[in-house]
């Protein structure tokens, strides 16, 4: 019988990509010939910790469970049960399975309370503010693109806000809508403007990305639901996302689309991205009508619904109106993601 390939004699460019799996998170990615495993993992958007990239800091250490990798420092193969540094290892026959306890599946990071300093507050519209927060030891706090946090004020219920920044950003960005009739948000803004620290708890939410999608991704937001989508888009632009991404952003009035120019910038600079603004332009337009308009715009895209994934951010009525319409159009229920399904389930 013919023997298996001789990896040492095979030309590097003849080696096939290697499938790599990380447990217990269950995340998978491919490593091309010549890639170190850290580069391949981060290109796929997998949040592996790292610092030095030369095998000294040991932050990217993993236990090799199966497969074979080549250690570029020792110039020797590493075999199952060995502890390896991903930045110093290239795949040599797979699939490769690695054990890394610190890498978390989507939505499985344990929330923790931290103290934050307010760096900046910038008005984005007549009632929406960008709040930039600095956290001590930021690199030790992990979250996934699309997750949210809570602001904990003394004697008050937690207030929840989507994180608008990428998981790799050095600071945390929030988009806070604080109109005159938003009493809770106004109290939160008062706390942000006062000197001293604020207490946060994060991360929360399961409608998030732990790695780049393998199908076309449709993002649908209403109002400040755009914050969650900004985190996801920033993350995907940093990674090797080869799937097309479509963003629908629905608002009542033009002035409510507070970062329209940024969304159009993504549209122009990123070939795989398309932006579709949906504006009611009617001061009397109630939320129900607005939701219907957003749903009609999404359905008009003519997507192959069994072949895409959808992430939605907005009020429970908006999300359930959208979900019902897309499931009827052929979207699998397992391909629809929204935190509303978790915190406001249907009775």
Over residues 219-232, the pLDDT tens digits come to 999 999 999 999 99
Q: CA-CA distance, 136 to 171, in Å (whole number)?
A: 10
Q: 175-234: per-residue pLDDT in tens?
A: 999 998 899 999 999 999 999 899 999 999 999 999 999 999 999 999 999 999 999 999
Residue appearing with tokens 């937690």: 158
Residue-level pLDDT at 287: 43
Q: What is the CATH number of domain 217-343?
A: 3.40.50.80
Residue 140 has pLDDT above 90, yes or no: no
On the question of pLDDT at 14 being above 70, the answer is no
Tell me how far apart the alpha carbons of residues 154 and 17 are, in angstroms, rounded to a whole number: 53
For the whole model, what pTM was predicted? 0.87
The model's confidence at residue 5, banded by pLDDT at 50, 70 and 90, is: very low
Beta carbons of 37 and 98 less than 8 angstroms apart = yes
pLDDT attached to residue 194: 94
Kindly tell me if the per-residue pLDDT of 288 is higher than 70: no
Task: Give the per-residue pLDDT at 282.
Answer: 52
b/e map of 156-186 (b: 16 or more CB within 10 Å)? eeebebbbbbbbebeebbbbbbbeeeeeebe
Q: What is the CATH number of domain 12-99?
A: 3.10.20.30
Least confident span in 72-81, 231-240, 276-285: 276-285
Parse the chain into domains and list their residue ranges: 12-99, 112-204, 217-343
* CATH number corresponding to 112-204: 2.40.30.10
Which conformational region is residue 146 in: left (phi greater than 0), alpha (psi within -120 to 50 degrees), or beta? left
Q: Output DSSP code: residue 63.
A: E
């Amino acid at each position: 019988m013919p023997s298996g390939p001789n990896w040492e004699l095979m030309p590097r460019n003849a080696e096939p990509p290697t499938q790599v799996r990380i447990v217990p998170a269950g995340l998978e990615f491919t490593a091309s010939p010549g890639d170190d495993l850290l580069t391949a993992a981060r290109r796929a958007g997998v949040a592996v910790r790292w610092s030095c990239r030369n095998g000294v800091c040991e932050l990217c250490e993993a236990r090799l469970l199966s497969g074979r990798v080549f250690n570029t420092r020792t110039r020797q193969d590493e075999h199952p049960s060995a502890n390896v540094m991903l930045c110093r290892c290239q795949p040599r026959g797979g699939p490769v399975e690695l054990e890394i306890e610190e890498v978390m599946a989507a939505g499985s990071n344990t929330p923790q309370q931290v103290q934050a300093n307010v760096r900046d507050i910038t008005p984005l519209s007549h009632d929406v503010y960008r709040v930039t927060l600095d956290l001590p030891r930021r690199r030790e706090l992990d979250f996934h693109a699309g997750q949210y946090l809570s602001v904990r004020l003394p004697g008050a219920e937690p207030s929840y806000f989507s994180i608008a920044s990428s998981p790799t950003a050095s600071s945390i960005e929030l988009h806070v809508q604080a109109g005159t009739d938003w009493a809770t948000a106004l109290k939160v803004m008062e706390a942000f403007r006062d000197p001293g620290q604020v207490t946060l708890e994060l991360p929360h939410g399961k409608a998030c990305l732990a790695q780049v999608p393998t199908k076309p991704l449709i993002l649908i937001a209403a109002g400040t639901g755009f914050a969650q989508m900004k985190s996801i888009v920033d993350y995907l632009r940093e990674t090797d996302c080869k799937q097309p991404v479509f963003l629908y952003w629905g608002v009542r009035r033009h002035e409510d689309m507070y970062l329209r120019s940024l969304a159009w910038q993504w549209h122009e600079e990123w070939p795989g991205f398309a932006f579709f603004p949906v504006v009611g332009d009617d001061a009397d337009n109630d939320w129900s009508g607005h939701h219907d308009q957003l749903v009609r715009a999404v359905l008009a895209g003519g997507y192959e619904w069994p072949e895409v994934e959808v992430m939605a951010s907005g009020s429970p009525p908006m999300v359930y109106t959208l979900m019902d319409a897309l499931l009827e159009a052929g979207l699998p229920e397992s391909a629809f993601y929204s935190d509303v399904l978790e915190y406001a389930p249907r009775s």
